[in-house]
Amino acid sequence: MKARPPAASRLAALLLTAALLGPLTGCAGDGEPVADRGPAASAASTPANSPAASAAGSAGGFSPVDTGWVQLVLPMTEQALPLLELAPSRGADPKLAAWAADIAAGHRADVAELRRLRDRMGLPDTNVHEGHAMPGMVTAAHMARARQAEGAAFDRLLLRLVRDHLRQSEKISDSERRNGAGAPARDLAAALAADRADALHTAPSLPGG
């Protein structure tokens, strides 16, 4: 297991995330409270060029907003994959399973691109949001529920969690596209935002709504 970053680094990551997300209100996908809401919510108005945010920025034309986006969207994408990959064995609706399989294939490619970008930016190979129930993040609690569900119950849970994940991923990626500084990060964010919007548009309707 990789070492967790120091508390100061985790706080800096939350400050940068706040710049992308705005105030963290409401709950994560299944009604879990958002962890660490105090520091992030109170810093929601922190500008990207503030001392705290600038300290976490990277060289090479990338800004703190770019850093915050990569450090959030990468674990969001990685942690959605195990849930998507359960669909063929746990679900009942073949259309939903095919939809999930298409998203999973895209997410695997996205993870590879995001890791390359992270390395290019000189960021550490750590998940600064580990243990945080961020909006759109598939958590360990979500996975435990998904592994216990079968058939139509699994399909309903999968569709709800994946839609929440896609909406949040699209939102923060569009924010990066508009506010980021590094062209490679902005271009990848634009592609991810478009992919998430397309996946949401093609989401199947389950029997009975």
pLDDT in tens, 106-158: 999 999 999 999 999 999 988 777 776 788 999 999 999 999 999 999 999 99
Beta bridge partners of 91: 151
Closest CA to 144 of 30, 21, 16, 10: 30
CB 83 within 8 A of CB 98: no
pLDDT category of residue 86 using cuts at 50, 70 and 90: very high
Please tell me the number of Cα atoms within 13 Å of 174 on its side-chain side.
12
Query: Is 32's pLDDT higher than 80?
Result: no
Whole-angstrom Cα distance, residue 107 to residue 156?
21
- Residue 26 has a pLDDT of 34
pLDDT category of residue 16 using cuts at 50, 70 and 90: low
- Residue 56 has a pLDDT of 42
Q: Which amino acid is at 37?
A: R
CB 64 within 8 A of CB 19: yes
Q: Dihedral through CA 117, CA 119, CA 121, CA 126, nearest 10?
A: 100
- Residue 17 has a pLDDT of 53
Residue 188, judged by CB atoms within 10 A of its CB (0-12, 13-18, 19+), counts as buried
Q: Give CA angle at 115 (128, 4), nearest 5°.
A: 25
- Residue 128 has a pLDDT of 77
